[in-house]
Structure formats: structure tokens, C-alpha cells
């Protein structure tokens, strides 16, 4: 049944465990590699953007891909993802602390990486707050925030288009029952800014009055700072009150997408 296990790990079932370890011969195995790839989302100019890097090395040299890299021997998966996040975004530690990072899904279809090495990738999803400057890439690689619309006309390296789609889908769902929309805005934000996150990620307009009431009614979602914006909106309107995240991670009840309710 299980070729590898039967023929190699379990050559001799009666062998003692310590003794068995000595007979292990790594070179007998087909080579396998594990990487982490990151879907790092942010909102810029009222559009959802993802961080992409232009590959400086083969395979897919010159093509755009999700940032990522091999998991190091002494690293746990989440550590590896956090390290890549830090390296690739160039965010300062204080911003980095506010980034949400979760494991998304693992991809391992044979042939998804053209190298003569079976590469599995553990995809992670990250929500980054608005970053003022375009990101500085590491080394020779070029990195850029791309709008999701732009990525639809691009061919991404590997199976990264599928990974990206999976990440966006997860993000849309997460907004409903978690307070993760606050990860897309600064430490202090207005209710309108928060609403804008939902509108951009979901791609639909929300009723400002209802959204306001809803956010205020969910216990622990936001708390008042007592301050307001310095000025009204760009095209008018009063100054908005500033809020910070209230500590709740789950939303009860959830903030449902209008288009899915019907």
C-alpha cells in the first residue's frame, strides 16, 4: 500500500526504534521541499491590493509571484511565514505587530513546481494596514502592491493565481464573523474607514446608517478614543469620531454580506 512507508521506513517491523534510526538513509527518498507563500492583502486607493514579487531567479524568472520561500530546518511554519512577511513587506515592527497572519491552505499537486523536486507550499494569508510607501523589495527582487483587478490580467508564476483566489475568498468570509477588518486600517479609525474595508473586500456598497448601528452594537468591536478627525471628508461632511479596536475577535452576531443574505 504505502510504498515509502513499507519499503523504506518499515523494512523491519521487529527492529528496535533506536536501532532503526541508524539504518535510515536519507538519500533513498525522492527529494521534497516545503515552502511558505504569502497572500498579503491591503487596501490602497479604495481597492484591494496584494503584494507580488517579480522573480529574479528561475523557475519563472521575470514573472510575478506571491512572496515566499523555503521553510528553514529549524523553523515552524508560522515562524517561516512571519519571517517572509517581515522580509518582503519591509514593514516596521510596530506595523508588523498589527498584521494578522493565518494559515490558508497547502498546495502540492505534482508538477506545480517545474524543478526536479516535489515542492509543497503552505500558503498563508495576511491582512496589512495601510502602508504609506510602496514596498521595498529584498535583494534583486522587485516587489509591488498590485490591485486585484490588475492581477486578473496577469499570469502569475506556479499555481499562485489559485492560491490568491483562495486567499481572497477566505478574506471575504473572515470579515463576516471576525473583527479582522480592523487589521486593514490604522490603529485609530473612523466608522467610515471601517465600512470602506468591507465595501472594498466585498465589492458592494453598504448602508452607512445600518453599518454604523451594527458596529456600535457588537460588544467589543470598537471603543471610542474621544477624539475626532482633524477635518471632515474630502468632499464635505462633519468630522468623524475616531475609534480603536475593542478587543473582540469574534463578532456576535455576525456582520453578514448583503448579497449572500438574499
Partner DNA sequence: CAGGGTTATGCTCAACATTAGAAATACTCA
Partner DNA sequence: TGAGTATTTCTAATGTTGAGCATAACCCTG
Q: How far is the CB of 186 from DNA (least distance, A)?
A: 14
Identity of the residue, 27 or 235, whose beta carbon is nearer to its own copies in the bound complex: 27
CA nearest neighbour of 61 among 141, 144, 165, 138: 141
Residue/partner pairs of 196-203 with CB below 8 Å, 24 or more apart? 196/43, 196/46, 197/43, 198/255, 200/43, 200/46, 200/47, 200/48, 201/43, 201/48, 201/171, 201/172, 201/175, 202/172, 202/175, 202/257, 202/259
Cell of 17: 526504534
Residue 236 site contact among DNA, its own copies, none (CB < 5 to 8 Å, cut-off depends on kind): DNA
Which residue reads 477566505 in cell numbers? 170
Identity of the residue, 52 or 123, whose beta carbon is nearer to its own copies in the bound complex: 123
Residue 238, Cβ neighbours under 10 Å: how many? 10
Q: Give yes or no for residue 217 binding its own copies (CB under 8 A).
A: no
- Classify each residue of 189-199 as buried b or exposed e, where b means 16 or more C-beta atoms within 10 Å of its C-beta: bbbebbbbbbb
Residue 191 site contact among its own copies, DNA, none (CB < 5 to 8 Å, cut-off depends on kind): DNA
Residue 162 site contact among DNA, its own copies, none (CB < 5 to 8 Å, cut-off depends on kind): none
Q: How far is the CB of 216 from its own copies (least distance, A)?
A: 19
Binding region for its own copies (CB under 8 A) out of 28-36, 93-101, 184-192, 228-236? 28-36
Q: How far is the CB of 213 from its own copies (least distance, A)?
A: 19
Residue 238 site contact among its own copies, DNA, none (CB < 5 to 8 Å, cut-off depends on kind): DNA
Q: How far is the CB of 13 from DNA (least distance, A)?
A: 48
The contact set with DNA (CB under 7 A) reads 190-192, 207-210, 212-214, 216-217, 228, 231-241, 253-256, 258, 261
Print the binding letters for residues 127-166 with its own copies: x by CB under 8 A, - otherwise: -----------xxx--------------------------
Cα diameter, the chain: 80
Given 209, 226, 236, 253, the residue binding its own copies (CB under 8 A): 253
Residues 63-122 that bind its own copies (CB under 8 A): 69-77, 87, 103, 105-110, 114-118, 120, 122
Distance, in Å, from the CA atom of 99 to the CA atom of 121, rounded to the nearest integer, reads 21
243 half-sphere exposure, CB direction, 13 A CA radius: 20
Q: Which residues contact its own copies (rule: CB under 8 A)?
A: 1-5, 9-10, 13, 15-17, 20-21, 24, 26-27, 29-34, 56-59, 61, 69-77, 87, 103, 105-110, 114-118, 120, 122, 138-140, 252-254, 256, 260-261
Amino acid at each position: 500500500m504505502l510504498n515509502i512507508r513499507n519499503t523504506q521506513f518499515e523494512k523491519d517491523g521487529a527492529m528496535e526504534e533506536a536501532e532503526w534510526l541508524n539504518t535510515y538513509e536519507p538519500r533513498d527518498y525522492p527529494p521534497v521541499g516545503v515552502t511558505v507563500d504569502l497572500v498579503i492583502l491591503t487596501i490602497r486607493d479604495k481597492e484591494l491590493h496584494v503584494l507580488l514579487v517579480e522573480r529574479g531567479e528561475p523557475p519563472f524568472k521575470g514573472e510575478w509571484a506571491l512572496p515566499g520561500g523555503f521553510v528553514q530546518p529549524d523553523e515552524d511554519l508560522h515562524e517561516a511565514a512571519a519571517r517572509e512577511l517581515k522580509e518582503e513587506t519591509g514593514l516596521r515592527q510596530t506595523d508588523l505587530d498589527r498584521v494578522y497572519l493565518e494559515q490558508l491552505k497547502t498546495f502540492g499537486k505534482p508538477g506545480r513546481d517545474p524543478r526536479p523536486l516535489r515542492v509543497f507550499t503552505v500558503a498563508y494569508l495576511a491582512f496589512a494596514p495601510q502602508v504609506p510607501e510602496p514596498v521595498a523589495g529584498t535583494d534583486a527582487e522587485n516587489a509591488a502592491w498590485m490591485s486585484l483587478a490588475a492581477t486578473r490580467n496577469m499570469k502569475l508564476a506556479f499555481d499562485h493565481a489559485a492560491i490568491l483566489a483562495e486567499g481572497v475568498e477566505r478574506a471575504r468570509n473572515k470579515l463576516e464573523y471576525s473583527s479582522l477588518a480592523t487589521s486593514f486600517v490604522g490603529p485609530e479609525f473612523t466608522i467610515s474607514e471601517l465600512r470602506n474595508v468591507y465595501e472594498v473586500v466585498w465589492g458592494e456598497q453598504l448602508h452607512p446608517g445600518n453599518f454604523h448601528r451594527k458596529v456600535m452594537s457588537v460588544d467589543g468591536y470598537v471603543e471610542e478614543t474621544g477624539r475626532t478627525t482633524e477635518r471632515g471628508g474630502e468632499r464635505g461632511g462633519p468630522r468623524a469620531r475616531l475609534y480603536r479596536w475593542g478587543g473582540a475577535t469574534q463578532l456576535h452576531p455576525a456582520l453578514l454580506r448583503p448579497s449572500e443574505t438574499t
